[in-house]
Structure 1
């Protein structure tokens, strides 16, 4: 993860965006006296939004946690897909 000042971000705008896109790397832009911001790849943003959505329902969150626990403890079934 890279941290740059607002001035550096302004001067290297294209380079920073290229780094984020090509390296799938976050870049923090430090804004003196203000809140910092983070530039992330769009696919990472979408994944975060989807995760937040899936965890926003209490029932869905519990179901996902149970499924993860079953996976960790080897309590899974493998089935062959039938193609039509």
Structure 2
């Protein structure tokens, strides 16, 4: 992980973009008096998004299991497909 100032990134944006994409580096851009930002490859961003969606899905399953164990489930007949 690299941390650079806004002034430096402005002058060498292409180099840091290449660091992010070619070397899978995360670049933190520090900005005086402002919130910092992160530059990363689209590939790495997509991986993070997928992991977040998976975590949300697993949490939903865990909530469902907890509800079932607490007796809050409903039983339904299975629908058989016509053969």
In the superposition, the TM-score normalised over structure 1's length comes to: 0.67
Aligned to 2:8: 8
Residue 10 of structure 1 and its aligned partner are, at CA, apart by 0.5
Aligned to 2:23: 23
Bigger Rg, structure 1 or 2: 2
Unpaired runs of 5+ residues, structure 1, are 63-84
* 1:51 has 2:39 as partner: no
Residue 35 of structure 1 and its aligned partner are, at CA, apart by 0.6
- Matched length: 61
Residue 43 of structure 1 and its aligned partner are, at CA, apart by 0.9
In the superposition, the TM-score normalised over structure 2's length comes to: 0.67
Taking only aligned residues, the RMSD between alpha carbons, in angstroms, comes to 1.2
CA distance in structure 1 between the partners assigned to 2:60 and 2:12 by the alignment: 45
Which aligned segments of 4 or more residues in structure 1 are displaced greater than 3 angstroms?
Answer: none
